[in-house]
Each structure stands twice: as structure tokens, then as C-alpha cells.
Structure 1
Amino acid sequence: MPNDLKDVENKIKGLKSLKYYEIEEFVKFDGDADKITKQLRNDDIKTSQLRKFFAAVKEIEMYVKDKRVWDDKAKVDFYLLMPKLAYAKGRKVISERFFNLMKITMEKVGSGNKEDTLDDFLRFVQFLEAIVAFFKVNNPGSL
């Protein structure tokens, strides 16, 4: 089996900005999110942690969609997700591979033009939504 997870990580690293990650590449069956969640199937990821992380991201999304701006509050809330992920990884309730994927993806939010940060974040939310959905499909009994 090819290392789809590494391929996706390298694809994301190569993007100028996360907003350029074409949605069609990760939302389809056999797309990036589907492939990587199949690889994460045997990782020790507590579904409660995945839901908790997803809920925190969705809360930030609701805030920025309401304000339609990436302000200091949104920025701080977003960047505080990384220490929470690191803590979860340290407690072994998310896997090293999931942590690395999220780290690489989150680092792309705001990596291009600062004006694009909101679009980058919204693409991150879409990517995470696809991961959560395919994680459920590829890991029956989870979530």
C-alpha cells in the first residue's frame, strides 16, 4: 500500500497557502481524507478526542463566519489548539500520525498572504470535516 498519509502531508507542505488545497482532492470517496483515515484505522485515536478537537474548530468557525474576519480572538483560539493536540498526543489519546497531519495542515493556515488566512482556516475546517466523516465510515463503531 502506498503511503497515502505521507503523500497528503507532502502535498499540503507544497501548497503556497491552504486555500489552494482543491476541495475535490479530499472530499471524494478514495480522495485524500478517505485514504488517510483508512491508514489511521489502526491508530489509537480516541473518538472523544477527535470530537472534542472538531467541536473546538467548529466553534472558531462559527465565530469567524459571524464576524467574517480573522481577528486576534480567532487567531489566538486557533493557535491554542496546537498545545491541546500536543497534550492529547502526550496522553496517547491521539496518534502521532494524526498529530503530525494536523500540525502540518494547521501550519498552512496563514502561511501565504495574511489576507488569505480566513480562507485558509475555512479550508482547514472543510478538510477536518472530511476526515471526521471518513473516519466514521472507515472505523465502524467509532464516533
Structure 2
Amino acid sequence: MYSNKNKKEEKEIVKRNFEEIKREIVRETPDWKRLLKDGGLIDQITQTKYFHDSLKTTQLRKFFDVVKNIDYRLQRESWEKLEPELWQIVPAIKYAKGRNNVPEEFADFVSKMVEKITDSEDPKQIFLNFERVFESIVAYHKYHGGK
């Protein structure tokens, strides 16, 4: 049986790893191996029963699709034009959190990353790092049986 102790421990792993991921994404050269490898920070998050059970693939894809759309449009449009669309993720993910459709740690991660991206000196690069991490979260979530 899944005890409250296990859930609390897993929530702490998820929270700690998302904090580490936020620090890595904004570095000039993120440690991609540490982030993306099998058993890396992202894989550790998506392996937890807590994260797996509290985030459905449809919710994850909903937000990832917005990020991918911005990424695609960045090839043709200016960052200044697309930045407001990135900000729209924040209230949307807070709404999903309020309905218990996404875990608090994931909602906080996405919200804080939008701030970090838009406050950075090179928002396009930080956004691309974020997009790569988000894609890996989707992939590992599905790999670990996300429904």
C-alpha cells in the first residue's frame, strides 16, 4: 500500500529535483546528462508514484503543446510577439492546479520558469532549454506508464 510517508518522501524528491532543474536550465551550458539521462533528475521525478498519479498525460500534453507552438513560431516571429503567449501558461497551469489536475510542484516549476525565461538576458535560449526539459518530462512520463 502507498503510505503517506512514501507520498511525502516522493513529493520531496519531486520538489528537490524541480529546484535543481530550474538551476540547470538557466545556466549557460546546462548539464544535459544530469538532466536527461536514464536515472537523471527528470527520470527520477517521473518514476515517483506521486507524480505519475497526480498528472495525466492529457494535462501534460496540453501545456507542452503551447510550448511547442511557441518554439515553432520562434523561427518566424519575434520573441517580443510570443512572450505574452508564454505568460498565458501561468494562469492556465494555476487553474489546472486549483482543480487538482497537476501536482503543485509541476505548476510551480512551470510558473517559475516562465519568470526566469522572461527575466533572462537571453530569453530565447532559456526558453529552448525549457522546451527540451519539458519534452523530456513528457517522454519519461509516458515511458513510466503515464495515462
Return the TM-score normalized by structure 1.
0.81
Match of 2:99 among 66, 70, 91: 91
Give the partner amino acid of 1:120. I
Q: Which residue of 2 aligns with 1:102?
A: 110
Give the partner amino acid of 1:122. L
Q: Which residue of 1 aligns with 2:134?
A: 128
Match of 2:19 among 10, 17, 24: 10
Q: Which residue of 1 aligns with 2:41?
A: 32
Specify every segment of 5 or more residues in structure 2 that has no aligned partner in the other structure, as ranges: 1-8
Preserved contact between residue 96 and residue 102 of structure 2 (Cα < 8 Å) = yes
**Farther-moved stretch of structure 1 (118-127 vs 32-41):** 32-41
- 2:49 is equivalent to residue 41 of structure 1: no
Give the match's secondary structure for 1:108.
helix
Alpha-carbon deviation of 1:20?
4.0
RMSD (Å), alpha carbons = 2.3
Preserved contact between residue 17 and residue 111 of structure 1 (Cα < 8 Å) = no
Return the TM-score normalized by structure 2.
0.79
Match of 2:71 among 41, 61, 64: 61
Determine the C-alpha separation between the residues in 2 that align with 1:63 and 1:95. 28
Specify every segment of 5 or more residues in structure 1 that has no aligned partner in the other structure, as ranges: none
Alpha-carbon deviation of 1:16?
8.8
Determine the C-alpha separation between the residues in 1 that align with 2:75 and 2:107. 26
Question: What number of residue pairs does the alignment pair up?
Answer: 136
